[in-house]
Structure 1
Amino acid sequence: MKLIIASNNQNKVNEIKDICRDLNYEIVSLKDEGIFIDIIEDGSTIEENSFKKANEIYKYISKRGDKNFLVLSDDSGLMVDYLNGEPGVLSARFSGENSSDEKNSEKVLKLLDGVNYSKRGAKFLTVLTLIDDNGKKNQFHGDIYGKILEEKRGENGFGYDSIFYIEEIQKTFAELSKDEKNLISHRYKALMKLREYFKTNM
């Protein structure tokens, strides 16, 4: 049985593969499957975007006649309290048409310039959508709370990891190793719910 990750973000693909490597599935990316589809993420919520990505890939794979597969999509976002939940669904493209991780993080820092630490609360949210080859859909949520620092710290990770500070461990995501991050992250929490679903339903 193949578990096809409906993402072109290799960083996300790698994290999912690492956390789920002991599952009894052949975990593959869209690139592995020769699927090169650019899905427009125009949903108003992270849940909608997650479902749209999984559903588009599910329809494509079904149309070409594949059997014995699951499609898993991931949509994640950073929600900053002071910015009324932004970047949210726009997290990957927050700085405009030519967005990059660096530009997106810099925009958040600029918007929070001068804001007191006590008001810099934020959370990362991941929503996974799983669709099996019968079209059954399930969603799994995971989140983690932290603060946005005034400057970047750490060299690891991707996205907003260098500015997202977890007070309990006094480090940013970017200051953690891959294995350390994969034990506490929002994506890890959502994937643990997915794993539990596999145990009881698959």
Structure 2
Amino acid sequence: MVPEYQGEPEEISKEKAKLAAQRINGPILIEDTSLCFNALHGLPGPYIKWFLDKLGYDGLNKLLIGYDDKTAYAQCVFAFCAGPTSEPIIFDGRCSGRIVQARGPNKFGWDPVFQPDNEQGQQGHQTFAEMDKTEKNRISHRSRSLQLVKNYFV
């Protein structure tokens, strides 16, 4: 286990990858996920887990109550570090959408309050929680980041 670093998602991922590569004395691939509200300039970002734990779904919505802009993006950053002395390579995948009232099953983190845009970039109609797993995995921030990882190694 590595410590929870603070900072921007890319910085956090780089530090986690460096430390993990040093600990295992070899190559490592780490992942960090964020939910970023555009009206709040990217917050809660990598701290979404803590915000959700303390505020719940209603509290996340209340953070945006004074803003017209409810847009957000889900971000997944993978960092690959080839070894303990290597500089990590960042793979940043994002999925645009908006923050909505919680809908759908509460199976995974903030999925009920994030409604991703469709593949044409237009406002979607379902939250991640309401989507079939296959569809979610096809359009998600994580799948986009993993595609960048695959492209790097091919």
Note whether the superposition's TM-score is higher than 0.5: yes
Q: Could you say which residue in structure 2 is the equivalent of 1:171?
A: 126
Structure 1 equivalent of residue 5 of structure 2: 41
1:196 equivalent in alignment to 2:151:
yes
Would you say how many aligned residue pairs link Structure 1 and Structure 2? 148
TM-align CA RMSD: 2.1
Q: Which residue of 1 aligns with 2:22?
A: 59
Output the amino acid matched with 1:53: K
Contact 1:77/1:126 (<8 A) preserved = yes
Q: Structure 2 unaligned runs (5+)? A: 119-123
Partner of residue 29, structure 2: 72
1:134 deviation in Å? Answer: 6.6
Give the number of the structure with larger relative contact order, counting CA–CA contacts within 8 Å between residues 6 or more apart.
2
The residue matched to 1:162 in structure 2 has which SS? helix
Q: Which residue of 2 is the match for residue 180 of structure 1?
A: 135
Identity rate, percent:
31
Alignment of 1:7-46 (within 5 A): 37-42=1-6, 44-46=7-9
Cα pair 1:123 1:146 within 8 Å, conserved: yes
Question: How many angstroms does 1:186 deviate by?
Answer: 0.6
> Equivalent of 2:98, from 140, 147, 155?
147
Q: Secondary structure at the match of 1:55?
A: helix
1:86 aligned partner, one-letter code: L
2:58 corresponds in structure 1 to 106
